[in-house]
Amino acid sequence: MNEPEVLNPAVTFEKRRHDFAALENTFRRKANNVSMLRLGVFLGGAALAGWLFYTGQTAFGFLLLLIFYFGFAWLIRMHGRLQYEQEHNRILSQINGEEILRLQGKLNLFDDGARYKDSHHFYTSDLDVFGAHSLFALVSRSVTVSGKNMLANWFQQAAAAPEILARQNAVQEIAPDLEWRQQLEAKARHYKRKTDHLPDFLNWLAQSGFFTDRAWLLVLTFALPLVTVSALALWYFDLLSGYVVAALAFVQYLLHAKFRKAKDEIQERSEDLHKEVSGYVSALEHIESRQFASEKLQQLHGKLYLNNVPASASIKKLAGILDYLAATQNVYLNLLVNSLLMWDFFWLWQLDNWKKTSAPLFEPAVLTLAEVECLASFAAFQFANPSYAVPEISTVPFEIEAAELGHPLIFVSERISNSFTTSGAGKSLIITGSNMSGKSTFLRTVGLNMVLAYAGSAVCAKQFKSFPMQVFTAMRTEDNLAESTSSFYAELKRLKMLLDLTEKPGPVFYFLDEILKGTNSKDRHLGAVALVKQLHKRQASGMVSTHDLELGNLENEMPGAVKNYSFNSKIEGDKIIFDYKLTPGICGSFNASKLMQLMGIAIEEA
């Protein structure tokens, strides 16, 4: 289903959503027709065989039953395939519908990564990386729990410059291939799981096998079924007493009873893991079937092979073993196969063999799939936003050069964007402005795009260049009643974290919003000035938003180290008009009094 790309991604997504929905309906009709045919075959075969038996044509009756049995089984398989295609196209239609919702900013239906929120992290809470209406909800297309965890980690920690470039090249390769990316996501969604069993499973794989130190039991696993089935055949032809068969079956029963606890633990785990393991197979096959040009994707592709055996084939074999182990959860089947064939022991032996030969490939394969999911997420984000820029990684310390930089989580027809540049250590951009003029939003705009850039993603800008740095924010400090901590003290602790961070090697770029707002204006000014001067002497630069106009005097006191910018507004009648544009210099317009008047507070005009 490859159609030429159109300029507007929304048009592409809507067309694909409609086309896949139509295919879903087509396969639903086919599945329903086969279901009716299957019922007809069953009833017709039973009726015809019954008539043959009734008329004494026993041989033809059994032959007909055999023919209808295989025909019925074939129809069951066909029905299963049609149902899979129906569900697959439903998922693809849903994926494209979700892309449209993301373009509209309706992110409440997506996984927002709230479980990754950490108020003590250097920046994720202040920049809305996780949680409601977050960057994670906007960008993530990962399906596996491992893929989501890895993407969260990429957002929490900047990659080194070579890794950023490697990710960018990989994203550029797969971004235009919408069909391949959406097929990967859809295949993984067939077995979507919310719980991450991988750590426990990896620990289980590292444990010794069931037959370790039980060589005698392994001999019985193969010998007893052969002897029991032979005895059963001899009994059928009246060549052996039935007591012998019963005794042999009883021996098998005793063995199963003796090792029931150990077997049950493995079977319970295997039953829970079967669907999760099956989900990896389809997605891995999709990755293995493609040839890649970028170095990173080639390296990831190479990790999916061990001794020329693809990971999908190895894990598919594991899925089959787990499936056979889970089969004896059926009481009647368990009684039959475990009394005659040592069924559970045989598949436990197969599992032991798999662990010895293929277990080393499992974790690298799962992590490789997770990494491809992350790269595909960035590729989908870039495809959906073709005007976004691929960042240039600067080699000039502390350099940031942004043209038409916008906030990726603001969804309006005409997003307001701003441009600015800075470079060198010890620089502070003091940003003043009236209430609601856009100071805090601008700080988050810069910070969030830096997080995207350092993860390897495109950014919401016409052009963007940045030197890799540790981002730090102090913007949303709140009191903590459980810890008897006031908001002012919480902010001081946050600033102490910044000072400790800047004593370590490595560049830091900070975003401080209305610092020390919890104290009086004199102490706030003295503290802010002291902090800026202290940071000036360290491997740090950043932005400080404030209502304190006197802080702007530092530009004259520290020429070249401090630069003033502002966001301004104007009052026309009872309206306050904002342009949300970054302007050089200190703010010259204020609106607090007007805002209070509009809220009904009787303030006398000066």
Of 548 and 583, the one with more pLDDT: 583
Q: Which of 466, 501, 411 is nearest to 512 (CA)?
A: 501
Sign of the dihedral defined by the CA atoms of residues 169, 175, 176, 182, in that order: positive
Asked which of 253-267, 364-378, 427-441 is least confident by mean pLDDT, the reply is 253-267
Q: How far apart are the C-alpha atoms of 291 and 32, rounded to whole Å? A: 38
User: 182-201 pLDDT, tens per residue?
Assistant: 999 999 998 766 666 677 77
Q: Given pLDDT bands bounded at 50, 70 and 90, which one contains residue 64?
A: confident
Q: Residue 173: is its pLDDT beyond 70? A: yes
Nearest-5° Cα angle at 95, 92 to 98: 155
Q: For all residues of the chain together, what is the average pLDDT?
A: 88
Asked whether the beta carbons of 395 and 466 are under 8 A apart, the reply is no
Q: Output DSSP code: residue 123.
A: S
DSSP letters spanning 302-364: HTTEETTEEHHHHHHHHHHHHHHHHHTTSHHHHHHHHHHS-HHHHHHHHHHHHHHHTHHHHHH
Residue 183 to residues 307, 312, 376, 603: CA-CA distances in angstroms? 28, 16, 11, 62
Q: Output DSSP code: residue 557.
A: H
Three-state DSSP state, 13: helix
Q: How far apart are the C-alpha atoms of 2 and 15, rounded to whole Å? A: 12
The pTM of this model reads: 0.87
- Residue 479 is predicted with a pLDDT of 47
- Residue 236 is predicted with a pLDDT of 85
Asked whether the beta carbons of 419 and 402 are under 8 A apart, the reply is yes
- Residue 327 is predicted with a pLDDT of 75
Q: Are strands 508-513 and 540-546 parallel, antiparallel or unpaired?
A: parallel
Q: Which residues of 475-485 are buried (b: 16+ CB within 10 A; e: fewer)?
A: bbbeeeeeeeb
Q: Which of 452, 281, 284 is nearest to 368 (CA)?
A: 284
End-to-end CA distance of the chain: 69
Q: Which ranges of 385-429 does DSSP label H, i.e. alpha helix?
A: none
Q: Is 425 exposed, middle or buried (0-12, 13-18, 19+ CB in 10 A)?
A: middle
User: 415-432 pLDDT, tens per residue?
Assistant: 889 999 999 999 999 998
- Residue 3 is predicted with a pLDDT of 46
Asked which of 29-33, 108-112, 197-201, 389-393 is least confident by mean pLDDT, the reply is 197-201
Q: Output DSSP code: residue 551.
A: G
Q: Residue 265: is its pLDDT beyond 80? A: no
User: 476-522 pLDDT, tens per residue?
Assistant: 766 454 444 567 778 888 999 999 999 999 999 999 998 887 677 78
H-helix or E-strand containing 78?
A: helix 58-103
- Across the strands, what pairs with 544? 430, 512
Q: Residue 126: is its pLDDT beyond 90? A: yes
Q: How far apart are the C-alpha atoms of 561 and 536, rounded to whole Å? A: 7
Give the residue-averaged pLDDT of 228-255: 90
Residues contacting 543, CB < 8 A, separation 6+:
428, 429, 431, 443, 446, 510, 511, 512
- Residue 574 is predicted with a pLDDT of 65
Q: Residue 168: is its pLDDT beyond 70? A: yes
- Residue 589 is predicted with a pLDDT of 60
- Residue 357 is predicted with a pLDDT of 85
Q: How far apart are the C-alpha atoms of 310 and 287, rounded to whole Å? A: 11
Asked which of 17-31, 63-77, 292-306 is least confident by mean pLDDT, the reply is 63-77
CA dihedral 313, 318, 320, 325 (to 10 degrees): 170
Q: Given pLDDT bands bounded at 50, 70 and 90, which one contains residue 141?
A: very high
Asked whether the beta carbons of 126 and 472 are under 8 A apart, the reply is no
Q: Are strands 392-393 and 463-466 parallel, antiparallel or unpaired?
A: parallel
Q: Given pLDDT bands bounded at 50, 70 and 90, which one contains residue 562?
A: very high
Q: Output DSSP code: residue 433.
A: E
Residue 263 to residues 152, 260, 568: CA-CA distances in angstroms? 37, 5, 72
